[in-house]
Amino acid sequence: MRIVTNAAVALSAALLFALPAQAQTSDKPPANAEVARGQYLAKAADCGACHREVHSGGPAYAGGYVIASPMGDIVAPNITPSKTAGIGTWSFVDFERAMRKGERPDGAKLYPAMPYTDYQGITDADMHALYTYFMQGVQPVDTVAPKTQLPFPFGIRLIMAPWNWLFRSNTPFKASAGLSPQAQRGEYLVQTLGHCGSCHTPRNLLMAETQSKALAGGDVGGWHAPNITGDPISGVGGWSQSEIATYLRNGHVSGKGVAAGGMGEAVDHSLRYMTDPDLAAIAAYLKASKPIRDPAESKPDFAWTDPRPVPLSAYETGDTHDQAAVGDSSTTDGAVLYAGGCASCHGLDGKGTKDGFYPPLVGSSTTGAANPANLVMTILNGVSRQGADARSFMPSFASQMSDAQIAAVANHVLVHFGRPDRSVSANMVADLRNGGPKPLLLKLMPWMFGIGGLIILVGAIAAARRLRARYA
Amino acid sequence: MPSAGTGAIWSFASPKRRDLLLGIGVTAMIAGGGVGTDALLAAPTVSAPPATFVAMSRFVTGSDLVDDAAITRAWAQLVALDAGFPAAVAQLAGAVDKAGLKTMTEFLASPLGKDAALLNTARTLTSAWYLGYTGTFASHASKDDTGFVTFAGALMWRPTIDATVIPTYSRGATDYWIDPPAGTPVPKGAASVRDWRGSGAAANSSKDA
Amino acid sequence: MAETFDADVIVVGSGALGSNAAYELAKAGKSVIILEAGERIPRWKIIQNSRNSSRRGDFNAPYPDMPWAHTSYDNDYLENTGSFDFRPGMLKLVGGTTWHWAAAAWRYLPTDMTLKSTYGVGRDWPISYDDLEPYYQRAEEALGVVGVDAQDQSGQNGPASPPRSKPYPLPAEGKTYMFQRLEARLSPLGFHFIHEPNARTTRPYDGRPACAGNNNCMPACPIGAMYSGIVHADHAEKAGAKLLTDATAYKLEKGAGGKIVAVHYRTSKGGDVRLTARAFIVAAHGLETAKLLLISDVANSSDQVGRNLMDHSGIGMQFLADEPVWPGRGAVQQGGIFNRRDGEHRRDYAAVKHSIANNVANPAVAARLLEQGVLGPELDRRIRDESSRWVDFSTTFEMLPHATNRVQPHSSKRDALGIPTLTVHYDVDDYVKAARPIAEADFHTFVKGMNGTLVAISPGYQNRDHLMGTVIMGADPKDSVVDGDCRTHDHPNLFLATTGVIPASGVINPTLTGVALAIRMADIIAREV
C-alpha cells in the first residue's frame, strides 16, 4: 500500500510538472518536489473550494468565502502562510491537529464543514507534503477573513466536543482487503483527501455521515448528491470505469450525465487537476465499493432513454395578434415554457446538440433521477463549470420563471424526456429556491431547550449507536 | 435514431426528406403526429380544412404534413385572404386527380403545369408551407395581412438543415462556424485567412497607433 | 430644514444607457429610481413570441405594442412628413431596444470626433477621444465586448486603431467560413476586412453563456449571450435601484435656479405621480428623449432639441457567389470592409461601411424563388444551392447634422395616456447621396471578385436605427443642447443618456459610445449628489 501510494504520488508529481496550466497564478511556482506534491494534494483535497475569496479570481486560500450550511453561514478562514491573518505561525503539529482532529492551536473546535473526519485518515507523508505546500508554496495574504458567527446554540463551538467523541475516528486509514491496489488507492482518495462522503453519504440526525450508508447519496443545500456506490441500479455500477474517470475530469459523459452544483464545483476546483491514474483509481474504487440499493429502484437514472414525442403544435401555439398576450408571461404551460426557455439549446426533442455542447435531457442522470431535486436546482441556478476539456454554462432561470412555471417546465422535461413517474410541485421549487429541505436537527430545534436538549439528544443517539453496534 | 442529412450523402430524391430535420430534432415530433385538442379549440371558427386541402398541400410540397394545428391555421387564413381559395383548391385537386398525376414533377411536366390559375394555387400552397406564413409581409409596419402557419416546421429549412440552423435553435459549440459544413469543397489556400489579422497573444498589448 | 427627495437620482428609461448609469449610481451608494414606460418580459416569452409570429422579418413583432407604450413600427404612433420614412426599431420594455440589435460595439475614431476641424464638415465633439477612452473600456467591460486588439478599425490597414488602454475584455469569436472566403478573394483587390467588436460573449461572462450561433440576434438572442440593457436593469435593481414599470414620464418640472425639481409620470391604470430628485437622467431613446424635453419645455434655449436628427441611412446589396460560402453559421454579422471609414474623401462625401450580413439565407432565398415561380423538387434544390452561395451586404453612410431633420411631438395626435405621439421629418442629405455611387461601384467590384451574379441593390435608403443628434452635444449653449458631460446647458441637474447627444455620426453603430457617455455621466453625478 505504501509503495503503491508513493508510486502514484511520484507519477502525479511528474504529471503535474508536465502540465503548467494546472498551477494557479497566485501560487508561487513549486520550489521542490515536496511542495509540488503538496500542491497536488491540496487540489485533490479541494481546499480551495471553501478557503477562497468571496469573488473568484482573488488570491488562493485567502478565505472569506461564505459556506451556507444549514446551521448558518460559515466563513472559510484564511489558510495562507500569513503570520498575522493566516496559519503562518502554525507548527506541523498544529496543522495536523486541525486537519485530523478539527481543533485549532488555541483549542477551539472547528465545525465539520471542515471535513476533518475524512482528512483524519490522510497519510503522514501526504500530511507533511500538504503542510510544506501551505507554508512554502502559497502566497501569504494578510487579510483576515471575517469570523464565523452561527446562531445559538451552534455558535457555541464546545458543542462539537461530544459530537467529535461520537463521530470522529482516531485510527489511521486502512485500505480494505480484497481490493486491487488501484482500487485501494482510489479508496484512500475517496475517503480522505476527496472527502466524497461529505456530500454523497447521508447524514444522521446530528449531521454526521452515516457510515453504514457510505456514498449512498446525500442532500446538500437543495442538491441531491447521488448514490455513488458500486450498485448497478442505484449507484454507478452501470458506468464503465473510464466513464467515471472522464466524468470526474470533464464534468460530463454522454449518455450518463453532467455535473452541476457542488459536483460542478468539485470538477472545476479539484478533480480536473487530478492525474489520470488517480481518477482511474477513484473510478475503480467506486465500482468496487459496497453496493447499496434502494429497493424501490429497478432502473439506473441514466437509463430513461426513450423520449415521449411532443407534437410541434404543443410548442408552436400560434399568433394571437393580441398585444396584451404578447406581453403576458403568466403561462404555466410546460411545453410553452420549455420551447421558449430550453429548446434553443436542448432542442425541441430534448436531445441537445450532436456534438454534446448542449447536453441531452434524454438519458441523463439529472432527468432520470428518482429525486428530481437536481433538475429543479439546475433550472433555478444554472450550471457553471470548467472541466478539463471545456467550459460549460447554463444561465439561471430563477428570476425568469415563478415556482409554478419552473415546476411546469420540469414536469414537461420529466414526462417527455426523463422519468415520467416523477413530478415536481411549486412548493418543492419554493423549498429548493430557499436551499432545500431543512435537516431534522434544525426542524427540531424550536422544541429543544438549547444545549440541554441537544445533550439529551446526543446521549440518546449515542446509546442507540452502541446498542446497534452490539447487535450488528 | 436513423442517420440522415450529412452533407456528403445528401440526396434530394429521398422520399424521407423530413428526416433531414434531425438536425434540430423536429422529426420525431412531427412523426409523432397528433395535435392537442387545445390547439384545435384555439383555431378560428371556420370550416375544418377539407381533405383536398391537405392532399394538395402534400402534393405540391412532396411532404407528409402532419401538424393538424398548422393545417387548420393555414386553411383558415388562406380562405380569409381569398374567398375563392376553396374553389381554387378544389379545381387543382380535380385536375391533378383527372390527369392521374402522382408528383409535382409530373404536374410541372404536364399540360397542367402551363395553367396559370393552377400554378398560382400551387404557389400559394407552397408558399404557406415553405415560408411558414400566409399573406404578404409589410416591413416597418405593425400590421399586415400575414398569418402564422409554422416556424420550425416551415419546409424552407429542410434543404440546408445539415449545414445551417433554424434561427433561434442551436447547432453546436461556439465557433463551429469556422469550418464549412461537411462536404463543402474547400478551395486551396483557405488556411491563410482563418484567423483574424492581429489576433493572438502578441496582440494583447496595443497602445501603439 | 433640509429638503427631502424621493431619490438622489431618477433615470427615465431602463435601456442599455439608462440602466448602466443607474447601476453605476446605485453601486456608488446613491438612491436611484428608474422609470420604464413598458413592462418586464422574460426572455423565454420573447423567444416564444418570435417563433409564433407571422412577421419574423419585423424585429419589433415579439415585443408588445401597447396603446400606452407604443413601439416605432406603429404608423399611428410615428408619423413621417419628410422624403424618407424614418422608422427605427424602438421598443418599450425593461431593457429597452438593445433587446434587438446585433451588438456591434465600436469605438469612434479620434477623427470621427474632430470631423469639422479635420475635414471641414459637420461638427466637432466638445470632448476628445482621450476623454472618452477610459469610459469606452469600462463600457466594454460592462457589455462583455469581444474584439481583436491589434486591428486597424479605421480600415486603412495600418497599426491598431483607435488607441486602447487595455485589451478587449474577451477574445473575438472565430471567423466564419463565409468571411474567410470573401476575405480570401476580395482582400487581394485592396479591400480591408475588419472584425466587428461586439457584445456577444465568447465565453461565459457576467451570467451570460457564450454565443453558439443561434443566428437570431434580431429579434432577440434566444440564450442571452448577446448583451441587452436587461443585464444592467437587473444589476441596477440588485444594487438597490428601484425600477417602476408602466411609468411613462410626461413632464420635467422646472424649479428655482434653473434646476429640474421633479419628473411626472403616468400609468396605464390611471394616475399621475410626481417624483423629486437631486438629479435627473433622461435615457429614453433618441426620439422620445427629445419629445419629453419639448413637451416639458426644458433644455431648449438653443432651439436645437429634436433637430439635427441623424441615422446612418443605408443601402443593401445581395449576390450569389460562384462557390458555397454558407452564410447563417454563427451570429448575424461579424464585420466587413472598412476602407472608406476614414480618409480625405470625408471632405466631399460620407464615410462608408460595408457590413456583411450573416443571416441564414433560406427565408430570403425561398421567398425570391417562389416569386420566380419555382415549384416542386426544383425548389428544394435551388434553396440549398442559393442559400449556400448567398452574400448580403448591408452598407451604411455617415450623415451630417441638419436643423431641418427633426423629431417633434405630434401637433394633434395623442397616445392612450394623452401624451403627444411622434412626428419626424427626415431627408437623406447630399453628403450621403454623393457617397452612394462610390458604394455601388464597390458592390460591382465585390460581385466580380466573387465571380458572382448580382441579385439586387436596394432602391432608396434603409433605416439603420442609429439615433443621433436630437439633443446634440456642443461647447456653445447657443447651438447645442448638452455639454461634453451630457449635462443640459440650461439645467445643471438634468443629464441626457442617449445616443441623441452624438454630434458627429461617423459610420459605426453608436451604442457603445452611448454607454461610455452614460457611465462617465454617472461618475460626474455621483460626485455631485
Do the Cβ atoms of B119 and B141 come closer than 8 Å?
Answer: no
Full domain range(s) for residue A31: 1-140+153-174
pLDDT at A446: 55
Q: Do C329 and B187 touch (CB under 8 A)?
A: no
Taking CB atoms and an 8 Å cutoff, what residues of chain B touch A319?
147-148
The verdict on A407 and A315 lying in the same domain is yes
Banded pLDDT at B23 (limits 50, 70, 90): very low
Helices (H), A348-402: 373-381
Q: Do C64 and A329 touch (CB under 8 A)?
A: no
Over residues C329-342, the mean pLDDT reads 97
C-alpha span between A46 and C46 (Å, rounded): 41
* Chain C nearest C-alpha distance from A419 (Å): 24
The verdict on A408 and A389 lying in the same domain is yes
The verdict on A17 and A127 lying in the same domain is yes
* Chain B nearest C-alpha distance from A400 (Å): 18
Residue A232 lies in a domain: no
Residue A255 lies in a domain: no
Question: Helix (H, G, I), strand (E, B), or coil: what is residue A69?
Answer: strand
Query: What are the residue ranges spanned by the domains of chain C?
Result: 7-528
Over residues A413-435, the mean pLDDT reads 96
Residue A249 lies in a domain: no
Write down which chains contact chain C via at least 3 CB pairs under 8 A: A, B
Helices (H), C297-429: 362-371, 377-389
Residue B16, pLDDT above cutoff 90 = no
pLDDT at C240: 98
Taking CB atoms and an 8 Å cutoff, what residues of chain A touch C42?
329, 400-401
Over residues B49-75, the mean pLDDT reads 96
pLDDT at C91: 97
pLDDT at C507: 98
Residue A467, pLDDT above cutoff 90 = no
Whole-model pTM? Answer: 0.90
C-alpha span between B104 and C241 (Å, rounded): 62
Banded pLDDT at C129 (limits 50, 70, 90): very high
Residue A125, pLDDT above cutoff 90 = yes
Question: What is the DSSP track for C16-69?
Answer: HHHHHHHHHHHHTT--EEEE-SSB---HHHHHHHHHT-S-TT-TTTTS--BTTB
C-alpha span between C524 and B107 (Å, rounded): 73
Supply the Cα-derived Rg of chain B in whole angstroms: 22
* pLDDT mean across residues, chain C: 97
Q: Among this protein's residues, is C466 annotated catalytic?
A: yes
pLDDT at B43: 43
Residue A44 lies in a domain: yes
* Chain B nearest C-alpha distance from C23 (Å): 29
- Cell digits for A436? 432545500
Instruction: Report the residue of B19, B40, B145, B170 to disrupt the A interface, i.e. the one with the largest count of A CBs within 10 Å.
Output: B170
Of C70, C466, C489, C491, which residue is the catalytic one? C466
Over residues A431-444, the mean pLDDT reads 80
Structurally, how many domains does chain A consist of?
3
C-alpha span between A133 and A460 (Å, rounded): 42
Over residues A138-150, the mean pLDDT reads 90
Over residues A110-137, the mean pLDDT reads 94
Banded pLDDT at B107 (limits 50, 70, 90): very high
Top pLDDT among C182 and B41 is at: C182
C-alpha span between C258 and C509 (Å, rounded): 34
ipTM given for this complex: 0.96
- Long-range pairs for A356-359: beta carbons < 8 A, 24 or more residues apart: A356/A252, A356/A254, A357/A390, A357/B170, A357/B172, A357/B173, A357/B174, A357/C212, A358/B170, A358/C212, A359/A252, A359/A254, A359/A258
* Chain A nearest C-alpha distance from C39 (Å): 8
Do the Cβ atoms of C25 and C238 come closer than 8 Å?
Answer: no
Q: What is the pLDDT of residues C467-495, one digit of tens each?
A: 999 999 999 999 999 999 999 999 999 99
The verdict on A458 and A381 lying in the same domain is no
Which of C51, C65, C210 minimises the CB distance to A323? C65
Do the Cβ atoms of C483 and C473 come closer than 8 Å?
Answer: yes
The verdict on A453 and A436 lying in the same domain is no
Q: Do C52 and A345 touch (CB under 8 A)?
A: no
The verdict on A325 and A384 lying in the same domain is yes
Q: What is the pLDDT of residues A40-78, one digit of tens each?
A: 999 999 999 889 887 777 889 999 888 878 778 889 999
Task: Tell me how many degrees the CA angle A84-A85-A87 measures, rounded to the nearest 5.
Answer: 90
Dihedral of the alpha carbons of A152, A155, A156, A158, in degrees to the nearest 10:
130
pLDDT at A461: 67
Residue A14 lies in a domain: yes
- Closest by CA to C189, choosing from C385, C446, C461, is C446
Banded pLDDT at C6 (limits 50, 70, 90): very high
Q: What is the pLDDT of residues C406-465, one digit of tens each?
A: 999 999 999 999 999 999 999 999 999 999 999 999 999 999 999 999 999 999 999 999
The verdict on A351 and A455 lying in the same domain is no
Chain A residue with Cα closest to C222? A344
Do the Cβ atoms of C471 and C483 come closer than 8 Å?
Answer: no
pLDDT at C5: 95
Q: Do C54 and B126 touch (CB under 8 A)?
A: no
Residue A161, pLDDT above cutoff 70 = yes
pLDDT at A207: 83
Residue C291, pLDDT above cutoff 70 = yes
Assigned architecture for domain C7-528: 3-Layer(bba) Sandwich (3.50)
A245: part of which helix (H) or strand (E)? helix A241-250
C-alpha span between A253 and A248 (Å, rounded): 9
Residue C114, pLDDT above cutoff 80 = yes
C-alpha span between A125 and A147 (Å, rounded): 31
Helices (H), A308-358: 312-315, 323-326, 334-341, 343-346
pLDDT at A456: 59
Over residues C254-278, the mean pLDDT reads 96
Banded pLDDT at B26 (limits 50, 70, 90): very low
C-alpha span between C506 and C129 (Å, rounded): 13
Chain C residue with Cα closest to A335? C48
C-alpha span between A292 and C206 (Å, rounded): 41
Residue C298, pLDDT above cutoff 90 = yes
- Closest by CA to A130, choosing from A266, A9, A4, is A9
Q: What is the pLDDT of residues A261-308, one digit of tens each?
A: 999 999 999 999 999 999 999 999 999 999 999 999 999 999 999 999
Burial class (CB in 10 A: 0-12, 13-18, 19+), C371: exposed
Close Cβ partners of C340 (under 8 Å, ≥ 6 residues apart): C155, C351, C352, C353, C435, C438, C439, C442
Do the Cβ atoms of A369 and A224 come closer than 8 Å?
Answer: yes
Percent of chain C with pLDDT over 70: 100
B96: amino acid identity, one letter: V
Residue B120, pLDDT above cutoff 70 = yes
pLDDT at B12: 33
C-alpha span between C100 and C91 (Å, rounded): 9
Residue A289 lies in a domain: no
- Cell digits for C43? 426572455
C392: part of which helix (H) or strand (E)? strand C390-397
Instruction: Report the residue of B197, B204, B207, B208 to disrupt the C interface, i.e. the one with the largest count of C CBs within 10 Å.
Output: B197
Q: What is the DSSP letter of A22?
A: G
Q: Do C209 and A329 touch (CB under 8 A)?
A: no
